Structure 1
Amino acid sequence: MLFQVIISRRARNSIKRLPEHYKRRVIELLLIFRENPIPAEYCDIKKLKGYTDTYRVRIGDVRIIYEILWNLKKVHILLIERRERAYL
């Protein structure tokens, strides 16, 4: 069964501001999330400490912070930012 990917307004606006090469890779990853919300073979993913089912993906200097709602089969994209702004 496929997961539903929900992108927050803040993350959606961040995608629009990304350089084209990052934008393509982020969109590819969001499509992969539909089938596999933790695609460790595709990119650098780590679980965030202190949070339940919340992860970060590193694509160059861009970070994607997202949470997985396993029981609802949803992936909620919380934040997409460059590294220096992602952890404020």
Structure 2
Amino acid sequence: MRYLVLWTRRAAKQAGKLPRAEQRRVVEAVGALEDWPGCLQVQDIRRLTRHERLYRLRVGRYRVLFDVDPALEVVSVEQVRKRDERTY
């Protein structure tokens, strides 16, 4: 079963500000989340501590924070941020 991937307005705006090459990499990596949970072995995905459904996806220097709702089979992309000491 394929999951539906939804972008929040905030995440779409953040992704739109990335350089074109990075933007393509992020969109491609997020698109692979449709195969949840099969994509866990392929991509660098970790569950965030103290969060039940929040995960991070590493795409180069950028981090994609997303929420997974297995009951609705939806992956919701919450943020796209450059990795720094304030990312998490």
| Alignment TM class, shorter chain as reference | 0.7 to 0.9
- Where does the alignment leave 5 or more consecutive residues of structure 1 unmatched? none
Determine the structure 1 residue equivalent to 2:18: 18
Post-superposition CA distance 1:11-65 (Å, at most 9, x none): 0001111111211111111221112256234332111000012111111110000
Give identity over the alignment, percent. Answer: 29
- Where does the alignment leave 5 or more consecutive residues of structure 2 unmatched? none
* Number of residue pairs the alignment of both structures matches: 87
Question: How far apart, CA to CA, are the structure 2 residues paired with 1:86 and 1:8?
Answer: 17
- After superposition, the Cα gap between the structure-2 partners of 1:67 and 1:41, relative to the gap in structure 1 and judged at 3 Å, is same
Root-mean-square deviation (Å): 1.5
Check the 8 A contact 2:29/2:59 in 1, yes or no. no
TM-score normalised by the chain length of structure 2: 0.87
Question: How far apart, CA to CA, are the structure 2 residues paired with 1:37 and 1:11?
Answer: 21
Determine the structure 1 residue equivalent to 2:78: 78
TM-score normalised by the chain length of structure 1: 0.87
